[in-house]
Structure 1
Amino acid sequence: MEEETMQELRSKAAELLLREEYKDSISAYSQFISLCQDFISEKNPDAAVLERLRKSLCLAFSNRAEARSRLMEVTEALEDCDLALRIERSHVKTLLCKGKILLSLNRYGMALECFEAANLEAQSYENVDLVSGLLEKCKRLDYLSRNGGFDISDWVLSGFTSKTPEFAEYVGAVEISKSEISGRGLFATKHVESGTLLLVTKAIAVDRAIMPPDSSENAQLVIWKNFIDKVVDSASKCSRIKGLISMLSTGEDEESLGIPDIGSFTDSDISSEKLDMERMLSILDVNSILEDAISAKVLGKNVDYQGVGLWVLASFINHSCDPNVRRLHIGDHVVVHASRDVKAGEELTYAYFDILLPINNRREMATTWGFSCRCKRCKFEENIFLKQDMRDIDMVFGKKVVDMGNVVFRLEEAMRRWAIRGKGKGHLRASFWQAYHQVFECEKSMKKWGRKIPLMNVVVDSLVEVVGSDERIVKVFMDGLKRGRFNGAVEMEKALKLGRGVYGKIMKKQALRSLLQFGSAQE
């Protein structure tokens, strides 16, 4: 009678799994497993019956793992896989299920072990091509995760209409350390050139919506609520995700926080800490990232959406008005690359807000973000803006109706009188970028002021040295090329270097030229 009941439960659970009624299937398999285990311990069946029951148990654990994985109940699914493999170490279906879960968690090394073990037994499995396909995919992602050899050229050249490029988690020459800016930060471990890829990571969760310009605050709150729900759900179903989130700061008691090993973000285990709702909300408030930001570029199908997400490792990057990295958002992945040359040991930073503005404007925006910026540029400009001539220039600039050529001329003359050189010039030119931009874009202004102010490429070089490549700076430089203000191979190479600072070294020259020449087709 008991064996009949177990058989009925097993058939019911299998049918529910096929119908994709995963919760009910899990319940039925749990009942079957409990009855089967009780039967074995209480009835002490003979060897033949015991072997049959053990095989049934193995398949039940495997199928329950499959159902749980479909509901993204990752931790429990992996536990079921391990229980099944204790019964039959080479159970192909379980090895594939476990491998796919580990692959979704970016645990490439462990996933590869599962797929290789399954491949050894693949001849006895009904879908040999599935096994070999998963094995090859895992090898490819494992390779990409080690060398960062991503290439989105074909996708770019197709106008973003072909299949979205495949990404793996990648951590380049970076480490987490104590920051002089705030709490902990991400630092370069070696000298890297502009455009160098530093990290690629997938969002824990992201929510997006098309937001018209006149959208209400309630619409923004809906996105935020949906995002929070997704993060909470992911953390509740996966101990690794919960552990990653618990590493992040709540914005309080920064000095007492530990320094996570960078290996925690690759193929290693993470211990999970207590993470109540209050702490979770504080973490998300401090660490969530807007996709459509001044230091970022969204490529592909999400370009028309406003999105907010949580990318854990990228959340360690602090703000500076002298930023040195930018990000690309492609699908649910964020790609972080150097926007200018970065020295070994230098902290990686990007702009949380528009930094091509004078210090008073930047102070206001920093206050909106809830902090006070004390970067080298801000300290330098605080002293310079004590000068009356500087305040006069700023006042005239602020009126926005005057001849901006006069503002640029007065600023350049002031820097000459004050013997400001090197990065100091770049700082002030960045602060009054809008004035330079208007002059360089206007033929009438260039005829009037062109001989009295520095050449465009000189200004661009000084800007990029301190604030890195920026789409607006690149656009002005490309316009100068098109108008014939300067030309030649040297200038084209400079344009490509500027472009790599915006888009990173993840595409070939032809694809980069298409973005630089025509601008993104999505703009």
Structure 2
Amino acid sequence: MKQAVSLEEQVQHLRSKATQLLLREDWGEYINLYSHLISLCLAAGDGAGAALHKTLCLAHSNRAEARFRTRDLAGALRDCDRALEFDPAHLKSLLRKARVLLDLDRYASAGDCLKLAIASHPGDDASRELLVRCRNLEAQSRRGRIDVSNWILGGFGDKCPDLAEYVGPVEIRRCSNGERGLFATKNVEAGTPLVVTRAVVAGRGILPESAGGPGDSARMLLWKDFVEKVLDVAEKCSRTLNLIYQLSPGTDQGDLEVPDIALFKPDAVEQLLALPPASRPDVDRILKVLDVNCLSEEAFSTKIDGKQSNYIGIGLWLLPSFLNHSCSPSARRQHIGDHAIVHAARDLRAGEEVTIAYFDVLSPIDDRRTSSRRWAFECRCERCDFEDSALFGPKMREMEAAMKGGASMEETVMRLEEGMRRWEVKGKQKGFLRASIWPAYASVYGSERLMRRCVRKIPVAAVVAESVAEAVGGDERVLKAVLGRMKKGCGDVAEMEKAMRLGRATYGKIMKRTAMKALFQLPLLNNGI
């Protein structure tokens, strides 16, 4: 009896300390304290009966919450399960387990957990609300149907839309050059979401307005903090670590295995969590992976939430890391909160590689070659080969040199359009050449004075925009030119439909028409940012 009283006093003392740690959000010490409390209770044996079981249930549940806060999701899940062994109907543990499962993208399992909570506690509104969210995410994860219309129409509120992990009709395959890439498994229309995924870690900051030193220091601090967070997550979660190890560390990709796409689907979480983690993450290997695979949020991805110009964001998104570059990209990515959404930027055929632009592709081939060398590769896509051919290479370089040397924009555009008629350029190839001098087209379509000089000598903006989009996918700058002409009364219902198609190719099929039209009115787009 004396021992039981002594244990009770110790438990009360530890709980009092735990409250202080909770208020300070000192999760590391909080976890250590509850680990000590659990050890004391277990050492007491089963003689203490129901009271001890209640204490152990609550201790494991509270430690689960702390582990959840520190992103040790596997540990949090184990603690929730242990708590529920002591009391299968413990509401806090059921809710905490459901939240952990949601963060692990196990939507169906989270739903089952919440159904148990509702059955045991019919009056609990939190369980019902979370179950609705869970069902919505599960449906989204299975079908890839995303709708952020309310968020856009509401002016991009502080709370980002709820997005589920989704892997659409894509697979990882070996490319013809020996590297690994993503490929479409069926025909898909422009705008179709292909991948929706949350960052392993995302880091963000505001750079100083002045160029030079302060900005560079801010970038270095952001990168240092980002790397530390990735290493912390990798150490705590065997699932994340094993998926990071699937990415290229920058060595010859021909030596790397081609992982099964199923590993990146939510259903694979349980399988990956069961894998034993390495004794310690290979820090050198992870740093190489980060150097090769990190994506910048502001680098040629669609931005629809109006970030300020000196904003910087960086993150590691696992499956999008397999996307290779093309100067005729078939997909675009955009970022909403910590999620990256990759959608088809033009119609895709089954078996076609899904590619994105690593740099500005609305530019001449020599400029693109310079950019690709900074990325340590030389692009040999269909567009580059066409523009560098013996027939078109010299002509385009001469035209680009004249434009940079002071030739008027309207002369450059009319010269290219006349040349394409003489050279009998057809279809997508017209879009390739127009994309290479797009700044000239944008200047002409943005000026009434220049348009008057080009009347009946160049196609209307919507026709050229469709041509460019077919060649290089949707782009805000191309969309801006079409909307600018429509704003000046140069469009009708048919032109609006073309703008809507271009909008879907640019932003994806993730919003209703009303939201798309609202997006068309944003200063973000009208200023061409």
Q: Structure 2 length as normaliser, TM-score?
A: 0.90
Aligned partner of residue 258 in structure 1, secondary structure = coil
Q: CA deviation at 1:498?
A: 0.7
Q: Distance in 2 between matches of 1:53 and 1:518?
A: 61
Question: Which residue in the other structure is 1:417 paired with?
Answer: 422
- Report what 2:232 is aligned to: 233
289 and 17 in structure 1: CA distance in 2 versus 1, 3 angstrom threshold: same
Shift in CA distance, 200/267, structure 1 to aligned 2, threshold 3 Å: same
- Letter paired with 2:461: M
Amino acid at match of 1:510: T
Q: How far does residue 22 in structure 1 lie from its aligned partner after superposition?
A: 3.2
Partner in structure 2 of residue 146 of structure 1? 142
Letter in 2 for 1:105: L
User: What is the aligned partner in structure 1 of residue 482 from structure 2?
Assistant: 477
Instruction: Using the TM superposition, give the Cα deviation of residue 466 of structure 1 relative to its aligned residue in structure 2, in angstroms.
Output: 0.8
Q: Which residue number in structure 2 is paired with residue 132 of structure 1?
A: 128
For the 8 Å contact 2:31–2:67, the answer to whether it is kept is yes
1:12-411 paired onto structure 2 within 5 Å: 12-19=13-20, 20=22, 21-40=26-45, 49-123=48-122, 128-161=124-157, 163-180=159-176, 183-211=179-207, 212=209, 214-216=211-213, 217-265=216-264, 266-268=266-268, 269-270=271-272, 271=275, 274=278, 275-299=281-305, 305-384=311-390, 388-399=394-405, 401-411=406-416
Unaligned runs of at least 5 residues, structure 2: none
What SS does structure 1 have at the residue aligned with 2:203? Answer: strand
Amino acid in structure 1 at the alignment position of 2:110: A
Between the aligned residues of both structures, percent identity stands at 44
How far is the alpha carbon of 1:319 from its aligned partner? 0.9
Q: Which AA in structure 2 matches 1:6?
A: L
Structure 1's 510 and 386: CA in aligned 2 closer, same or farther, altered over 3 A?
Answer: closer
C-alpha distance in structure 2 between counterparts of 1:449 and 1:409, whole Å: 7
- Which residue of structure 2 aligns with residue 8 of structure 1? 9
Q: Indicate the larger mover: 1-10 or 315-324.
A: 1-10
- Residue pair 2:205, 2:222 contacting (<8 A) in 1 also: yes
Counterpart Cα distance in 1 of 2:176 and 2:303: 27
Q: TM-score, normalised by structure 1?
A: 0.91
Partner of 1:517: 521
Deviation of residue 273 (structure 1)? 6.0
The 8 Å contact of residues 242 and 272 in structure 1, kept in 2 or not, is answered as no
1:253 deviates by 2.8
Number of aligned residue pairs: give it.
Answer: 512
- Contact preservation (8 Å) 1:236, 1:242: yes
Q: Give the Å deviation of 1:307.
A: 0.5
Q: Which amino acid is the alignment partner of residue 11 of structure 1?
A: Q
Of 272-281 and 369-378, more deviation after overlay is shown by 272-281
Secondary structure in 2 aligned to 1:207?
strand
Do 1:292 and 1:307's aligned partners in 2 also have CA atoms closer than 8 Å?
Answer: yes
Q: 2:507 aligned to 503, 508, 521, which one?
A: 503
SS of residue in 2 equivalent to 1:251: coil
1:480-510: CA deviations, max 9, x gaps?
A: 222234x221111001111111121111111
Contact kept? 2:299, 2:358, Cα under 8 Å:
yes
Letter in 2 for 1:516: F
Report how far residue 283 of structure 1 moved. Answer: 0.7
SS in 2 for 1:327: strand
| CA deviation profile, 1:110-163 (whole Å, cap 9, x unmatched) | 22222222222225xxx7222222222222222222223322222212222474
Q: 2:206 & 2:57 partners in 1: Cα distance?
A: 47
1:108–1:267 CA contact under 8 A, matched in 2 = no
Whole-angstrom distance in 2 between the partners of 1:61 and 1:158: 41
Residues 383 and 82 (structure 1), Cα distance of their counterparts in 2 relative to 1, 3 Å cut: same
Do the aligned partners of 1:207 and 1:308 also contact (CA within 8 Å) in 2?
Answer: yes
Q: Deviations over 1:326-385 (max 9, x none)?
A: 122111122222221111221111111000111110010011122211111111112147
- Cα distance, 1:518 vs structure 2: 4.1
SS in 2 for 1:299: coil
- My pick for the range that moved more, 344-353 or 456-465, is 456-465
Conservation of the 8 A alpha-carbon contact between 1:64 and 1:80:
yes
Are positions 1:494 and 2:493 aligned together? no
Distance of 2:194 and 2:310 partners within structure 1? 26
In the alignment, residue 332 of structure 1 is paired with which amino acid?
D
Moved over 6 A (4+): none
Partners of 1:181 and 1:318 within 8 A in 2: no
Q: CA 1:378/1:7 → structure 2, altered by over 3 Å: closer, same or farther?
A: same
Backbone CA RMSD of aligned residues: 2.4
Displacement, 1:469? 1.1
